[in-house]
Amino acid sequence: MTDALSQSSRLAGQLPGLLLEAERVAHSFLRGWHGRRRAGTGEAFWQFRPYMPGESVRGIDWKETAKRGEAFVREKEWEAAQTLWLYRDPSESMNFSSSRQLPVKKHYAEVLMLALGMLALDGGEQLGLVGTSLAPQAHAGAIERIYAGLPQQKHLMEDARLITARSHAVIFGDFYAPPESFLPFCERLALRQVRGMLVQVFDPAEESLPYEGRVKFKDMENTAAPAVMIQQVEAIRAEYAEKYAAHRAHIQKTVEGWGWSFLALSTKTPYQDAMTQLYRCMEAR
């Protein structure tokens, strides 16, 4: 068996897993959500209105005009579909789960992201994946392309030019890095009138540091970095919690200053609740 073949078969085996999970999350979320009252996709008819002088003649619906004897324009809903840019942090630190009962952060983020993407596609929006060369698409197959593109996704900072002005961006990550390493980039997007949202996915253990005794902590991002030996974890827990909260508060305050939104989601949170929170956050914008 060739390498490509084995890889494709492995992918084929995996493909439905994550996607189906995302789909389940998206659908069960739709069932419980009544806020969306839309007539259809952007191609659908919305209303006829009288032709206003100065408008493009191409907009005139000739059939209707012939019926009524007056020039009418066919207006379509969501004529200009928006583009939703999605991103999840591909870094190593996302591959973490403190317990077997909890999902790995990356997986959790991907499920939420793909579910969000499906809902957006349902709403007629275009989907784009930050960090890949894929052009935004709106057809139903887009989600699979995004899924397939996930492994190729590069780091956020490397490829921001693609994100078009006045579009939406939802960025999933753990943001465990000095704020100055990623906030300026987001700020540039905000200046280009991209409406963004930062979703911090974290493991409960990262917030509470539940370890005890002598523990040697190693960096997941940079394995070459010297490990930190903590003689008594319980003794530093309070200070750690304080720093952790401060880091999060700083990010939140900064992005909200640009009119962006920030959401912290623990992997402990059920997907449905997380989706609700995500939606509320987006609607509130």
Would you tell me which residues interact with other proteins (CB under 8 A)?
Answer: 93-94, 96, 99-100, 105, 174, 176-178, 203, 206, 211, 213-221, 225, 227-232, 235-236, 239-240, 243-244, 247
Q: Which is nearer to other proteins, 82 or 200 (CB)?
A: 200
Q: Chain centroid to CA 213: how far?
A: 38
Q: Which is nearer to other proteins, 76 or 268 (CB)?
A: 268
* Cβ at position 281, least distance to other proteins in Å: 23
* Cβ at position 182, least distance to other proteins in Å: 12
Q: Which is nearer to other proteins, 53 or 178 (CB)?
A: 178
* Cβ at position 2, least distance to other proteins in Å: 34
Both structure tokens of 245 = 């909260």
Q: Chain centroid to CA 253: how far?
A: 20
Residue 53: C-alpha distances to residues 50, 59, 76, 80 (Å): 10, 12, 19, 22
* Cβ at position 146, least distance to other proteins in Å: 24
Q: Which is nearer to other proteins, 110 or 174 (CB)?
A: 174
d(CA 156, CA 141): 24
Beta bridge partners of 72: 50
Helix (H, G, I), strand (E, B) or coil at 132: coil
Residue whose token pair is 């209105």: 49
Q: Count of alpha carbons within 13 Å of 144, Cβ hemisphere only?
A: 9
Q: Which is nearer to other proteins, 69 or 213 (CB)?
A: 213
CB atoms within 10 A of CB 73: 19
Beta bridge partners of 264: 200
d(CA 140, CA 126): 10
Q: Which is nearer to other proteins, 239 or 273 (CB)?
A: 239
Classify residue 151 by its DSSP letter: G
* Cβ at position 113, least distance to other proteins in Å: 18
Q: Count of alpha carbons within 13 Å of 143, Cβ hemisphere only?
A: 25
* Cβ at position 200, least distance to other proteins in Å: 11
